[in-house]
Every structure is written in C-alpha cells, then in structure tokens.
Structure 1
Amino acid sequence: MPFLRGSLGFERFSVAGFDADTFGEEHIEILANNAAGRHESASTENVHVGFLGGDHLFDQDFDLDKNLINNAVHLCVRVDTNQIPAAIRAAWLQMELAGYAKDSPSGVATKSQRKEAKEAVEQRCEVEAASGKYRRMQQFPLLWDHSNGLLYFGGSVGTASAYCTDLLERTFEVELRRLGAGIIAQDWSVEADCFADLDDLQPVSFVTGETATGHGWANEHSQAPDFLGNEFLMWLWWTLENESDTIVLPDESEVTLMLAKTLSLECPLGESGKETITAESPVKLPEAMQAIRSGKLPRKTGMTMVRDGRTFDLVLQAETFGISGAKIHLDDDEEFDDDDRIDAIRTLSETVDGLFHTFCDRRVDADWKKDLKKVTKWLNSTGKPAQKAAA
C-alpha cells in the first residue's frame, strides 16, 4: 500500500462532519458498494470514480484488518477517463472533411457539410469511448487519519483531487477543506486568539527599497494568506543561517533542521523568472543568495528534520504546504510495522505545522519588525560568511 511503503508525497485536507467514533464494518460496506469498476454511469464527461482496497488497480476487497491501521483508514481512489485524445478527434474531423471536399465541385466542404462532419465525429467519439478502447485508469492513495481529522491525498491538487474529494464528501457526507499555508495559519490564529492580527498582515519585502505588492502566483479567488508560506521558508533560511539550527516548537519540543538538496525561487513580480538550484546544500551557494537579494522568494525547498530521534527528508511547497519525496529514516536494527509508519507520518505532519506555527507566532508579534530588519541587513551584507546575529 502506497502510504505504508517507500517515499511519501501528499496534500492534506481537514475532514469535518464524520460523526462516528471509529471506522467500522458499516463504513467498509460503503466503500465496497462504491468500489471502482462496480458501477458505470452515463456521465457526459466519461469520468468514473470509485474506491480501491489499496493493493492494486483492480482491488475491490475491503476489510477492517486490511484497511484500518492505527485509527487511520488506508485506501485508494481510482479515476477512469474515457476521453478521446484531441489529436485523434482532429484527425477524424480532417478525414470527414476530406470526404466531403472530394465530392464537392469547389473542392472545399460547405458550411453545412462542416457541421455534419463535426456531428459525425462526435458520434464516433461516443461509440469509441463506450468501447473502452481509450480508457485510462489512475489510482491515488488516501490516508484518512480519523484521530486528527485529516485526509492525506497522495497526489497534487488538481482535477484528480477534486474527483477524489467529491467522492468522499458524497459518500460519507463529510466536508473536506484543503490545508494550504493560509488556511493552516488561519486555523492557528483562531486557536491562539489572534485572528484579527493575522488578518491584518500583508506581504513584506525583504529587500531594501522594494515594496511588496503581492505575489504573481497568488490565487486571486482565495482570501487565505498563502504568502505566509513563502515568508516562512525565507524566515527558516535566515534563522538557520544566523540564529540556530534548532527551533523550539509551541509544545516545547525541539526540531533540528537543515535546508538541503533542492531550492526553487521565483520573483513575486514576475520580472526575473524562476530558478531551481540542486545541490547538497543549495542555500550555501552564491547563486541562491544572489536570487534572494534580487527579490526572489523561495517557493519550494528540500529539508532534513530531526525530532524526538526521528529523521525525515522531504520537499515542502510553500503555498500549498504539499510534501513530496518524504523519507522516514530507520535505524538498521529498528523494528517498524504499519502502526509505526502511521505514527511517523503523523509526526512528520505535526512537525512541519509546528515549525510554521512558531513562525506565525513570530510574524504577528511586535518583534517581527526587528526580525525583518535583521533579514534585510543579512541580505545587504557582503558575500562573506554570515555572522551570528546579536540576540
């Protein structure tokens, strides 16, 4: 099962409205009744969505012992599409038009003939799609953490995630909400009783003489302050270079952290494009410093985290807080079963959020202005090795 083996990649959603105290046999029956391939619909989009047991693309078997692990449900969703490729549709249309043109005195199909040709192609598409000849099947792993009210979706947010979340919402009558940087910050601010302070925040520029006017990649339809994700990665970078490689989380546990392997940056104004740096420690390279000095912001970075003796490697996307390429390090003689794996995933998720909560607490504090000045001074410094900032 994908979440139980190998590296991890996921987006997260909060789950609200599931009233059962635990996942039981009645829910197993619901999954089985909505298994992929069990029901076909007359969908005009030729898209069929259903659950899978998790073992393979045709697994329709569900069982509590198999799918319920450490109070989390592991399964997959399969998305079947029956859409004719655009190139094939275009070729069929050209063939139809060529037939009309051949019999036409002018050698060109008339307006009515072009209409007939399009109708003929549409009919052929329906027949070919119904035959299953162009069916494409994709499966996406899900981990529904009942203990924490979270859904881990093993993919990136897009059309596939919309199909999967819609299926879950309809089937179990729950409400799912994607947890990007802005939503995580807003949820934190409610718990910390500082929502108004967070709501007043605006993007900042870390470069002297520049005024932040927003991020070109921001979702214009969202009111969530996703820009905090970019500022969080910038703050992490500065903190690790100038303060300490150990950060205290709100629960007073400690995380030792380093940024590693990959770093993607982009100009928020769209003036100087994107840049991706791959190295053992990309933030140490002069081109990385040059990029942020020119006003670019980090959008994605690799990192290694150590918390409570457990080491994780991962890549974090700033705005969506999507995680990819995550690895859980094990000792050579360590016994690690599926329950331990679920606990490790929870620790990974909680640690990333805890780091972000620490930043959010600093971001709404009056001392944030001092931090911002320190970051700006650091960026304005020469290319000499960074000195530890004064307390």
Structure 2
Amino acid sequence: MPFLHGSLGFQRFSVTGFEETDFGEEQIEILSNNAAGRFETANEENVSVGFLGGDHLFDTDFDLGKNVINNAVHCGVRIDTNQVPGSYRAAWLQMELAGIAKDNEGGKITKAQRKEAKEAVEARCEQEAATGKFRKMKSLSLLWDLDQQLLYFGGSVGNTARLCTEMLERLFGLELRHLGAGGIATQWATANKVFGEVDELQPVSFVSDLIAGDHNWANEHSQQPDFLGNEFLVWLWWKLETDTDTFTLVDDSEVTVMLARTLTLECPYGESGKETISAESPIKLPEATKAIQSGKLPRKAGMTVIRDGRQFDLTLQAESFGISGAKIHLEDDEEFDDEDRIDAIRLLTDTTDLMLQTYVERRISDDWQQDHQAIRKWLTGSQKQRSKAA
C-alpha cells in the first residue's frame, strides 16, 4: 500500500475524540467486523464501504502485528459500487417509450404509459445489477497516526473522503476535520495564543495596494483562511529568489527548499485563466514571472525539501496542503523499514506545516508590511529587467 511503499499522496484530517493511549485488539476487531465486502447487496444504487488489511484489493485479514506500526494503524478502505450508468438508464427508457409510441395512434404517450416505462426500466436495472457486471471496486490507503492525532487519507477530498470519514467517525467515535492550509494556520495560532490575529487576516494582493477579495476557488462553506496557502507559495518563491534557499523555521530548525518540476498558477478572480508550467526550475522561466506579475497565484508547486538530513521530492497543493507524488530519498546502504517510513512521513508533514507556520508568524508580525512591499518591488523589478533585456 502507498504509505509503506512507493510514492506518497494524501490529504490529512485532524482526529479528536479517541481517548485510548495506544491501539489494541478492540480496534483490530472493529476493522475485522467491518471488512470490505461484508455487507454487499444487489441493489443497483448500492455503495458499500469496508476496511482492507492493506496488502491487496481482497485482503480482509487484520492483526496488531500487521496493521499497527510505530503507533499508527495502517490499513486500506474499499468502496464497492453497483450502479447502472445513467446513460444506460436513459437509453433503456427511450427504447421503452419508442416501443409504446409505435403502437399508439399518432405516436403520443400517456402519463400512465410513461410511468409504466419508468417502472420497467427500474426493474431492468435491478436485474442487470444482480448479475454483478456493473460492480466496481476502488481501494485507498489509510494511516491513522496516534502520535500526531492525524488521519492520512490516500485520496482527494470529495465524496470518497466523505464516505470513509463518516465510517471512521461512526465506528470509532471520532471527529475528523480536513486539515488544509487554513486549519494548520489556525491550529498553530491557537497553540501560540494568536488566534485573533490570524482570524482577522484577509487575502492580500501582491500587485496592488488593495485588499484582495475572496479567491474564485474559495470554499464558501469553510471559514478557514486557506488563502494563506497561496500566499505562502508566493512568499516562498520571493524568499528563494532574493534571499536564501535555507532558512530557520518557527521551531528553530532549518530547512532547505527548491521549487522544481511543476508550477500551477491561476487568476484568483477567474479573469485570466490558469496555466501549468513543467520544467526543472519553473520559477526561472519568463512565463512564470509574467503570470505572477499579472496577479495569478500559485495553486500547486513541486518542490525539493531537505530537513534533519532527509530529502523529499513532492508536489504541494496550496489551499488543501495535500501532498502528491512525494518521494523519500534514501542513502544507498540505508536500512529502511516500515517504522522508519512512518517516521519519514511524520517528518515530511511536520516540515511542510512548519514552513507554512513560519510564513503565518511573519504575516501577523509588524514586519509584514516590509515583506509585502519588498515582494511588490521584486515583481516590478523583474518586469523592468526583462523590458531592458528586450
């Protein structure tokens, strides 16, 4: 499974409500009793969710030695669907109606006949679903880290994540909240007693003196300041270009960062579109500079991060702080087991969080206006330099 092998991709959820100090047989029993495939039905609208042991799509064996590693539960979740595609239903209905119209004078169809046709289609859907030919299975990895009080979810935020988190909350009595850039910033602010300062922050523009409005991609149902993720990537870009690629984080440790491989930028107001740049160092390309000077903001960035002697390559999504394509670099002769890998995952997310928190600390400080103006001058200066070169 991806958390123990290969590249990493995940979203994170904070975990509250679990009072145990470690995982035991009780949790393993819950996983086993709710294994994938245990509650199948033939109904065409059926969606069932169950746990996997973690080895493969049909692994439903669980035990402490296998599934609890370094104080974290590692397992999978499988979502089984048995739904007749809407295009099939629509086609079958048209066929039923065409047959009725053919036998009617003038080809007209009554309301009663239309109802009968729909009922016939529903009956056919049930028969077709019972054959199993529309059944699909999708598996995802889970890593429930008790030390960090985090759930690592190996998928994107959406309906799939909702199905999985609802099951975990119901079975284990948890409360799970998606942890994006705004949530990470808010957690840090609460712990450091500066919640009010962070809560008052509004999006800023790096190309004008005006306070920016809500971004076009903002989640209207969330009060979290996820826009800080976009601003963080601008600030990081500026820092790497004008200062240093190695800097001190809020916990006094050091990190070395390089933006590499990919960069996606988008107009926050939907006026000038979106573009993705792929290159060894995309921020060095003129099209990247032109995009950020026009007011576009980074939404996703590839980067190499080195901290505590460990190097990671990854792509970071600005608002959700989701990580994809992450690789852990190992020395040629390094022994690296499952416990070491989980420690490396913890180091990776701890590092990206600290980088964001370092920006947020700067953002609420008295020095922020100085940084803000410096970023604007940097953008203007880059534009002037290119004009002279032309």
TM-score, normalised to structure 1's length?
0.96
* In 1, Cα distance between equivalents of 2:248 and 2:260: 20
- 1:373 aligned partner: 373
CA shift, 1:209, in A, is 5.4
CA shift, 1:42, in A, is 8.3
CA shift, 1:108, in A, is 3.6
1:78-117 superposed Cα distances (whole Å, 9 cap, x missing partner): 0011111111111111111111012111124333222221
1:231-265 superposed Cα distances (whole Å, 9 cap, x missing partner): 01111000111111012112211100000000000
- 2:316 aligned partner: 316
1:52-78 superposed Cα distances (whole Å, 9 cap, x missing partner): 001111111001111111111100010
CA shift, 1:40, in A, is 3.0
* In 2, Cα distance between equivalents of 1:116 and 1:277: 55
* In 2, Cα distance between equivalents of 1:21 and 1:222: 31
Secondary structure of residue in 1 paired with 2:27? helix
Runs of 4 or more consecutive aligned structure 1 residues displaced over 6 Å after TM superposition: none
Stretch of structure 1 that moved more, 354-363 or 129-138: 129-138
* In 1, Cα distance between equivalents of 2:374 and 2:328: 34
* In 2, Cα distance between equivalents of 1:15 and 1:110: 56
Stretch of structure 1 that moved more, 129-138 or 216-225: 129-138
Q: Counterparts in 2 of 1:260-299, with a 5 A limit? A: 260-299=260-299
* In 2, Cα distance between equivalents of 1:39 and 1:110: 40
TM-score, normalised to structure 2's length?
0.96
* In 1, Cα distance between equivalents of 2:337 and 2:208: 52
For 1:133, give the aligned amino acid: K
- 2:233 aligned partner: 233
Q: Counterparts in 2 of 1:359-370, with a 5 A limit? A: 359-370=359-370
* In 2, Cα distance between equivalents of 1:131 and 1:169: 33
* In 2, Cα distance between equivalents of 1:329 and 1:34: 36
- 2:31 aligned partner: 31
* Distance change >3 Å, CA 168–CA 189, structure 1 → 2: same
CA shift, 1:123, in A, is 2.1
* In 1, Cα distance between equivalents of 2:308 and 2:116: 69
- 1:74 aligned partner: 74
* In 2, Cα distance between equivalents of 1:44 and 1:128: 8
CA shift, 1:124, in A, is 1.7
* In 2, Cα distance between equivalents of 1:172 and 1:199: 31
1:154-174 superposed Cα distances (whole Å, 9 cap, x missing partner): 010111111111111111111
Q: Does the Cα contact within 8 Å between 2:42 and 2:126 map onto a contact in 1? A: no
Stretch of structure 1 that moved more, 293-302 or 377-386: 377-386
Identity %: 67
Q: Does the Cα contact within 8 Å between 2:44 and 2:129 map onto a contact in 1? A: no
Stretch of structure 1 that moved more, 281-290 or 95-104: 95-104
* Distance change >3 Å, CA 97–CA 64, structure 1 → 2: same
* In 2, Cα distance between equivalents of 1:384 and 1:336: 50
* In 1, Cα distance between equivalents of 2:379 and 2:210: 13
* In 2, Cα distance between equivalents of 1:248 and 1:322: 23
Aligned length, in residue pairs: 386
For 2:269, give the aligned amino acid: L
For 1:78, give the aligned amino acid: R
1:259-318 superposed Cα distances (whole Å, 9 cap, x missing partner): 000000000111000010000000000000000100000000000000111100000000
Secondary structure of residue in 1 paired with 2:214? coil
Secondary structure of residue in 2 paired with 1:377? helix
Task: Give structure 1 stretches of 5+ with no counterpart.
Answer: 387-391
For 2:37, give the aligned amino acid: G
Is the aligned partner of 1:124 residue 2:124?
A: yes
- 2:103 aligned partner: 103
CA shift, 1:2, in A, is 2.0
* In 1, Cα distance between equivalents of 2:251 and 2:193: 17
- 2:4 aligned partner: 4
* In 2, Cα distance between equivalents of 1:314 and 1:382: 27
State the Cα RMSD in Å. Answer: 1.5
For 1:48, give the aligned amino acid: S
Q: Does the Cα contact within 8 Å between 1:247 and 1:355 map onto a contact in 2? A: no
* In 1, Cα distance between equivalents of 2:17 and 2:195: 24
CA shift, 1:132, in A, is 2.2
Is the aligned partner of 1:301 residue 2:287?
A: no
Q: Does the Cα contact within 8 Å between 2:43 and 2:126 map onto a contact in 1? A: no
CA shift, 1:44, in A, is 8.1
* In 2, Cα distance between equivalents of 1:161 and 1:243: 39
CA shift, 1:45, in A, is 3.8
- 1:389 aligned partner: none
Q: Does the Cα contact within 8 Å between 2:44 and 2:125 map onto a contact in 1? A: no
- 1:163 aligned partner: 163
* In 2, Cα distance between equivalents of 1:244 and 1:385: 21
1:164-205 superposed Cα distances (whole Å, 9 cap, x missing partner): 111111111111110011111111100111111111111000
* Distance change >3 Å, CA 43–CA 353, structure 1 → 2: farther
CA shift, 1:43, in A, is 7.5
CA shift, 1:19, in A, is 1.1
* In 2, Cα distance between equivalents of 1:305 and 1:322: 15
Q: Counterparts in 2 of 1:124-163, with a 5 A limit? A: 124-163=124-163
Q: Does the Cα contact within 8 Å between 1:315 and 1:326 map onto a contact in 2? A: yes
For 1:370, give the aligned amino acid: Q
For 1:158, give the aligned amino acid: G
For 1:324, give the aligned amino acid: S
For 1:87, give the aligned amino acid: S
For 1:378, give the aligned amino acid: W
For 2:24, give the aligned amino acid: G
* In 2, Cα distance between equivalents of 1:244 and 1:83: 54
For 1:122, give the aligned amino acid: E
Q: Does the Cα contact within 8 Å between 2:44 and 2:82 map onto a contact in 1? A: no
